[in-house]
Structure 1
Amino acid sequence: MEERQARRRRPHCLVLVFPTQGHVNPMLQFSKRLDYKGVRVTLVVSHFLCKTLQFESSTTSIALESISDGYDGGGIKAAESDKGYIDRFWDVGPKSFEELLQKLTSCGDSVECVVYDSMLPWALDIAKKFGAIGASFFTQSCAVNSIYYHVYSGNLKIPVTDDDESERSCFLGCLH
């Protein structure tokens, strides 16, 4: 009983992963750091990834939950295209994630924080709906984020060509 009460006193954070290669490991490593710092963590992945993930719950106190991405039997490889996968995930994922939060809340398992992959911005609205703090997690390096910023701001036009010295120097400046 005391262990259960102590577990409930630890802040609970859901970490919502975009279920593709390159997104799972950085978020899992971040989850391990949160756990080490005393935060109770639940890693949330797609149903398909949950079935295929080799996750040793005996070696960590990180819990595992799953939501639907619309391709529960085959994940992203079952989609007709990357765009098709994202479109369907954006249709199905928010409802499935909201159902998960509702399930946890109805069991008395409050969630104080949702850390979500930057590919899933809809998670912030759902976190707020349940009174949780939301934080976006960028799985790529800061240099990539800087390049995205400069492209978005119009400082850097893509593709960068050998003919345009100013764009090449801006690109190199983004990396420093």
Structure 2
Amino acid sequence: MEKQKLMMMEKEEAKRHGRRLVLVVYPFQGHINPMLQLATILYSKGFSITVLHPEFNSPNHSNHPDFTFVSIPDGLSNVSASPRDIGATISAINRSCEAPFQRYMEQILEAEDRHDRVAGVIYDGFMHFAQRVANHLKLPGITVRTSAAASLFVFAVSRHPDGHGYLPFQDSLSQLDKVPELEALKLKNIIESVAGNPTLLELRAILTETTKNASAIIVNTIHFLEQKTLTKVQEYFAIPIFPIGPFHKLAPSSSSSLLEEDNNCISWLDKQAPESVIYVSFGSMTSMDENELLEIASGLVSSEQPFLWVVRPGSVRGLEWVEELLPESFWKRVEDSEGLEMRQRAKGLKEKANFCLSEDGSFYNALNELVQLILSS
């Protein structure tokens, strides 16, 4: 209801500012969707929208007729949609896209008039080249974290405890206990996930330093869920941060799926109690090894509750399909109950979330502050 109210109200009342925002999208599913949702929210606030994306995994333009879409060469014609080395893919995109992006921006700046001026560049954090171009052209550059603030925080604080450089993984991981800000986060597991991958380590450093040069950070989260983390992120980067998520709650539903959607599970889901099914999915990029897959399967079986688990082809490193890896106990559990039931969230948590999305809540406040920041630039 709040989502529909926002879109109807803003479209009726908003005047085009004569200002255009250029959004730069990272070409993977879990990044395309939230960026287009953010674009829809900003369009409702009166901005014209240009969506710039690599040729690889191009979003469906027809789903967003009010936007201008521009594709640029990316050098990824031979890369799988589920790359084995995410760090190398991100690095390749940034190398290939920076020059054509700068040329495009120079062209539209030269051709702009007072009725359609570029107000700034809003880019997925993985597309860090966009900040360098924005700096060069003296435009505001706003970085977007499509996931939780905690993920950005890990990038920021997982430096060496003495404050100089990033943790050398050949050293004892016991040093990580000296980073108190992470509290309940299992930093050792996070660090081990990138240990031994120099490309990811370099990328983490680049993303952190690039974020420091941004005009602001937009995070796809809600304030009350990550209040302490958001405070720490703002203290570290010393720039405005806008938690205006979750984007999907405020933007109309419009599929931007890169794959054909499988609706076979809907009839089963319709039989389950509201807010009762655990949904397990690791998106279009994350991969795991065989032991991690088996550990997840074991946990689902041991819980003795129903579940829906999406296992993407190629999500286990070295394998396309995983059926032969899963134990008989797992298949017996699936055949018996077909899923996993999740503990219902506390009523108070739901009430807080609803308030944050109301006109008096943190979402609206943060969104209005973001608009004012852009217009004042």
Hey, what's the Cα distance between the residues in 2 that align with 1:36 and 1:171?
A: 36
Hey, what's the Cα distance between the residues in 1 that align with 2:51 and 2:104?
A: 12
SS of equivalent to 2:36: helix
- Partner residue in 2 for 1:40: 48
Residues 48 and 74 in structure 1, CA contact (< 8 A), matched pair in contact too: no
Which residue identity is paired with 2:126? M
Unaligned runs of 5+ residues in structure 1 are 1-5
Question: Residue by residue, what CA displacement relative to the aligned partner does 1:108-137 show, whole Å, maximum 9, x if unpaired?
Answer: 364220001111222122123333211111
Worse-matched range after superposition: 85-94 or 111-120? 85-94
Residues 168 and 103 of structure 1: CA distance in aligned 2, closer, same or farther (over 3 Å): closer
Which residue identity is paired with 1:35? Y
- Partner residue in 2 for 1:54: 60
Worse-matched range after superposition: 115-124 or 76-85? 76-85
Question: TM-score, normalising length from structure 1?
Answer: 0.73
Which residue identity is paired with 2:102? E
What is the RMSD computed on CA atoms of the aligned residues?
A: 3.5
- Partner residue in 2 for 1:82: 86
Report matched runs for 1:1-176 at 5 Å: 10-50=18-58, 53-57=59-63, 60-71=65-76, 73-74=77-78, 77=81, 81-108=85-112, 110-152=117-159, 154=161, 166=177, 171-173=182-184
Residues 90 and 126 in structure 2, CA contact (< 8 A), matched pair in contact too: no
Residues 92 and 78 of structure 1: CA distance in aligned 2, closer, same or farther (over 3 Å): farther
Using the TM superposition, give the Cα deviation of residue 147 of structure 1 relative to its aligned residue in structure 2, in angstroms.
2.7
SS of equivalent to 2:109: helix
Hey, what's the Cα distance between the residues in 2 that align with 1:67 and 1:150?
A: 34
SS of equivalent to 2:22: strand
SS of equivalent to 1:34: helix
Residues 76 and 82 in structure 1, CA contact (< 8 A), matched pair in contact too: no
Unaligned runs of 5+ residues in structure 2 are 1-14, 186-225, 229-377
Using the TM superposition, give the Cα deviation of residue 89 of structure 1 relative to its aligned residue in structure 2, in angstroms.
1.8
Which residue identity is paired with 2:51? L
- Partner residue in 1 for 2:338: none
Residues 50 and 69 in structure 2, CA contact (< 8 A), matched pair in contact too: yes
- Partner residue in 2 for 1:3: none
Percent identity of paired positions between Structure 1 and Structure 2: 20
Using the TM superposition, give the Cα deviation of residue 171 of structure 1 relative to its aligned residue in structure 2, in angstroms.
3.9
Hey, what's the Cα distance between the residues in 1 that align with 2:83 and 2:155?
A: 26
Which residue identity is paired with 1:21? Q
Q: Which has the larger radius of gyration?
A: 2
Aligned residue pairs, count: 164
